[in-house]
Amino acid sequence: MTLQINQIATFGDARRMILDTIVELRNGTMDTGRGMAIAANMKVLNDNIQVEINQAKMVIQAQQAGHSFGRMVGMGQKAIANDENQTA
């Protein structure tokens, strides 16, 4: 069963969509262009996650060295999707 865009609310949902995309491309039930677009968007999501991880590491290292850039606010709290920003 393929996830619809409005069903992607967690990183587990995003991973499931990646796997569904691979299966559908292999079976020929998804257009290659759509698969490439999904892959590009997932790369952007992955890059965003990596930036948050790097930020957290930097703050921890700075605190260990006796520096403070302030506290991290909202790390990982941004919803991937919600009903307000979805299209049919």
Specify if 49 maps to a domain.
yes
Sequential DSSP letters for 21-71: HHHHHHHT-S-HHHHHHHHHHHHHHHHHHHHHHHHHHHHHHHHHTT-----
Specify if 80 maps to a domain.
no
Specify if 76 maps to a domain.
no
pLDDT on residue 74: 64
* pLDDT tens for the 88 residues of the chain, in order: 555 556 778 888 888 989 999 999 999 999 999 999 999 999 998 888 888 888 888 888 888 888 876 666 666 665 655 555 545 4
Specify if 81 maps to a domain.
no
Specify if 57 maps to a domain.
yes
Specify if 25 maps to a domain.
yes
For residue 9, give the 3-state DSSP assignment.
coil
pLDDT on residue 88: 43
Specify if 85 maps to a domain.
no
Contacts of 68 by beta carbon, 8 Å cutoff, 6+ apart = 62
Specify if 74 maps to a domain.
no
User: How many domains does one find in the chain?
Assistant: 1
Tell me if the pTM is above 0.85. Answer: no
Q: Which domain holds residue 17?
A: 5-65
Q: Give residue for tokens 């796997």.
A: 19
